[in-house]
Amino acid sequence: MSRHTKTFVKGVKVSERHGAGEWTAERLSSAILVPLTLWGLWSGFALSGGGYDGALAWFRSPVNAVLLAVTLLVSVWHMQMGLKVIVDDYIHKPGSRRALLGLIGLLCVLLAAAGVFFIVRLALGSAPLPAGFGI
């Protein structure tokens, strides 16, 4: 006799007993972000009044640059997971869901890459953008 489980009850999809890994990853990223956010608030307070030279000196510290990059990467990862949950809950057409999740993933990768690029440039003592590019 085969075991058959319902996939829908009254038009609502029933849990397929997966997703615990995603739930755990969301909680892990939240737990990692708590001390990083406290560090960021403390750093912002310490930087206030330091001016441009103080900010550049702060960025040149390897500890600050690494912690800032980790904060950025974990934040983008957490954001991507949260947006995935929203899309999974509210977008029901498989093609639209895949396209939107792909776009969100691409934007998150671009955001993370650009952020790390600028953090590294500042940490190495370069201007964030080359002269003549931007304002």
The alpha carbon of 114 is separated from its chain's Cα centroid by a whole number of angstroms, namely 13
**What is the three-state SS of the chain?**
CCCCCCCEECCEECCCCCCHHHHHHHHHHHHHHHHHHHHHHHHHHHHCCCHHHHHHHHHHCHHHHHHHHHHHHHHHHHHHHHHHHHHHHHCCCHHHHHHHHHHHHHHHHHHHHHHHHHHHHHHCCCCCCCCCCCC
pLDDT at 2: 47
Classify domain 28-123 by CATH architecture: Up-down Bundle (1.20)
Q: Distance of CA 71 to CAs 19, 32, 65, 92, 133, Å?
A: 25, 9, 10, 32, 27
pLDDT at 117: 93
Per-position pLDDT tens, the chain of length 135? 445 556 777 777 666 666 678 889 999 999 999 999 999 999 999 999 888 889 889 999 999 999 999 999 999 999 999 999 999 999 989 999 999 999 999 999 999 999 999 999 989 887 666 665 555
d(CA 51, CA 126): 17
